Chains A and B, each alone.
Chain A
Amino acid sequence: MVEVQKSGALQVLVGKVDDILQHSIGDPLRYLANWGRLYSLWPVHLETACCSVEVGAAAGSRFDMERFGALEAFGSLRACDLIIVMGTVTRKLAPRLKLIYDQMGDPKWVIAMGACSITGGLYFDSYNVLRGIDDIIPVDVYVPGCPPRAEAFLQGLVLLQEKIRRAPSLSGA
């Protein structure tokens, strides 16, 4: 009985030490890791459909996307951590989208831009269009519009940054 009590107290002590360590080292580390991730989001260059002209405008000099850290790295997609699905995804592109998503390294995020990638949008009754991409890849931020203005897309980006800032675990998930 006394031994159980002693081990109970030990466990409580260990639990308290673990809490202190979490808050003193784990929290700042997580904050730092998330801070680093959200200010350097690298989108994959996948121009899905017509919303890509608004992303092109957002990357231009008036709406500068680069000041948010989102720089389109023209290297390999395995170095990217954001995929912006700009517009309609057709049945021909869908397996390629999944292939690209699977190849990106963790942690990765998805912005569904435009009404077509959220629900199929204007093309809901077409024979070749996926009614929303969240059946095949998990989406973090939905930016509605047809096409969303460049400022609306930037607001979506900032919203994703807020989400990353609050990510509960160190791996960014």
Chain B
Amino acid sequence: MAIQTEYDPDSDRIMAVSFGPQHPGAGHFRLRLWLDGDYLVKSEPDPGYIHRGEEKMSEYRNYIQNVPHLERPVILDSSNILFPYALAVDELMGNKVPERGQYLRVIMSEINRIISHMYFIAIEGLFTGHTTLITWCMGDRDFWIDLASRIGGARVTFAYIIPGGVRNDMPEGLTEKALKTCDWFEKRMDEYEKIFFKNPVVLTRMEKVGVLSSQDAIRLGAVGTVLRASGVKSDLRKDEPYSHYDDFDFEASSLNGGDSWSRAYVALLEMRQSVKIIRQAFKNIPTGPVRLKLGPQPRVPAGEVYARTEAARGEMSFHLISDGSPRPYRLKIGSPSFKNMRVLPHLLKNVHIADIPIIYWSLNYWPLEADR
């Protein structure tokens, strides 16, 4: 049924409601909603509840000291936010990262992508009321965290991809464990498809809900799974390959629906491609050193660089300006959730209240990353 309500600020049918920051469906974020009965007429995001001032803090720390706090914004895939930072600093310094280090960066980046997408799909299950999916996905995610912690050391914050390479080499016996995990996981993904993505109840709830056309996606600056689910096959790993991504054989997944189901399903397709990349990386990884010794206070020559990579949620970009001192002059983090936030008020308009969590979470909006 088409909703014809226009937002009329003088109408006394409109009620303004706060959705968040304490709400099971909102996370650390607040959405202001204007409702006309059961219909949502207008919405406005109110971020900043977790704005910790990362960019100002990075001006007080040198390039190595910046690594721990820069990986906290999107702690779910912490390696993927350090990746463009490492690329930016390496480009400014002219570092030639050793080959084995580059392959390890790819491996860690893809494992983190799977970890992040598993959280995304788990909470998709939660918001659609599919509690089996959230329990399965949160449990299976722990196997990937085990694998990543064998390389990185901690459970979620690895501080692994640093300027100059990676922090340490991977331990012995990791290849068999990784390949076993990949084999097991592919069968699990088939099961997720059967119980969730092809489930008629879920399809009724998520198909044709929150449709974003490709022109709107490009115009509003959407990135990542949101852009790819609207028919634009844009993946920075294919378009602007960094760190030997062009050595691997994989595809950029995209769908034409532009609705919430497509945005969730693209994540599953990407996980399949990530498993492919991990397999190839473990098979073909060269030997050699894994990092350049940069010392505790690397001196970076003056310059300006804009580096971007494909994080789990989309294009993560770093604008780094150095003035020759050991600390950055300006570090600007362009996080994918902030870029996708503009899509929220565009989609959350003229829908029923019950569609709000579906649309909101399908954009894979992580408030910490948007607020930095």
Name A residues whose Cβ lies closer than 8 Å to a Cβ of B. Answer: 44-50, 52-54, 56-57, 59-62, 72, 74, 77, 88, 90, 92-93, 96, 100, 122-123, 125-129, 146-147, 149-150
Contact = CB atoms under 8 A, between A and B. Distances in A.
B24 A146 contact: no
Contacts of A72: 24
B155 A150 contact: yes
Given A53-B156, A60-B141, A96-B49, 14 more contacts: A46-B21, A47-B27, A52-B28, A54-B156, A57-B141, A60-B135, A60-B139, A61-B135, A61-B138, A74-B24, A123-B53, A129-B52, A149-B155, A150-B155
A92 B368 contact: no
Classify the interface of chain A: helix, strand, loop or mixed: loop
Given A88-B50, A96-B22, A147 B28 contact: no
B49 A128 contact: no
Interface of B: 21-24, 27-28, 48-53, 56-57, 60, 68-69, 72-73, 75-76, 119, 135-136, 138-139, 141-142, 145, 155-157, 368
A136 to B, nearest CB: 15
B21 A60 contact: no
A57 B123 CA distance: 12
Given A49-B368, A53-B156, A150-B155, A100 B22 contact: yes
Nearest to A129: B52
A96 B156 CA distance: 28
A72 B24 CA distance: 10
Given A60-B138, A92-B49, A123 B22 contact: no
Contact of A49 (B50, B119, B139, B142): B50
B22 A46 contact: yes
Given A53-B119, A96-B21, A147 B51 contact: no
16 contacts: A44-B22, A46-B21, A47-B27, A47-B28, A50-B75, A60-B135, A60-B142, A61-B139, A62-B139, A92-B49, A96-B21, A96-B49, A126-B52, A126-B53, A128-B52, A150-B155
B369 to A, nearest CB: 10
Contacts of B60: 125
Given A50-B72, A54-B155, A62-B139, A77 B22 contact: yes
